[in-house]
Amino acid sequence: MANIKESRNGSLAKNGKLNEVIRYLNGLLNMTVREGSNVETPRLISAENHSILITTQATTQATTQADTELPFTVTLNADGELTIAAGRYLVVNTATYLDTTEPAVGDYAYLQIKHSSAGVLDATTPVALVVSPSPGLAATTLDSDETFIEYSNILLAEVIGDAVTQYRSGNCELVLSFTNGKYHYTAAFEGGSA
């Protein structure tokens, strides 16, 4: 059991706040993880000297059942355009698998996230793989009334000269972001960044 020792001396120890923070950190260091029931939502319960992470069966399965080791892999085909390798790619916290049964061809590969309003994912097609010819897609696109970001486009790879540069790989997790005063989702990947 790992523990950080509480401070007994010095100015920070006098009011007890430092030791309170240490007790919460010790709780995170000694966290237990359990699978919740069907009605429980995943959550972290943190208290002094002990924390519990509750997961769901779907979350546990989703994080361990990706069909490909390095999703979003791309290659350069004979026409000089990139091709997304066929496979099932996982968006972890939505438990969404993106299937690519037929390779898509173009110069830019994106993960596209669609919103129905500010910070709310589209119910029908929240995420998709998109391959675009040059010059590519903007990082964010507003809706027709310009009130919220309708599309977030995360560049996965692009053709530069006669080679493909892959920026991101691995499964991803959607995270809430804030751009130009507007909430929207973007993706954090296991590997790579740009």
Q: What is the pLDDT of residue 140?
A: 93
Q: Please tell me the predicted confidence (pLDDT) of residue 39.
A: 60
pLDDT, residue 171, reads 75
What pLDDT band is residue 143 in, cutting at 50, 70 and 90? Answer: very high
Q: What pLDDT does 65 receive? A: 40
Chain segment 100-118, per-residue pLDDT in tens: 655 567 788 888 999 999 8
pLDDT of 59 above 60: no
Domain residue limits, the chain: 11-55, 66-191
Mean pLDDT across the stretch 163-186? 84
Over its C-alpha atoms, the chain yields an Rg (Å, rounded) of 22
> Measuring CA to CA, how many Å separate 24 from each of 10, 14, 47, 77?
20, 18, 6, 53
Of the candidates 36, 54, 37, the residue with the CA atom closest to the CA atom of residue 45: 54
Share of the chain above pLDDT 90, in %: 11
Return the half-sphere exposure (C-beta side, CA atoms, 13 A cut-off) of residue 193: 2
CA separation, residue 155 to residues 28, 48, 80, 113, 166 (Å): 34, 41, 18, 12, 9
Residue 147 has pLDDT above 90, yes or no: yes
How far is it between the farthest Cα atoms of the chain?
Answer: 70
Question: pTM of the entire structure?
Answer: 0.59
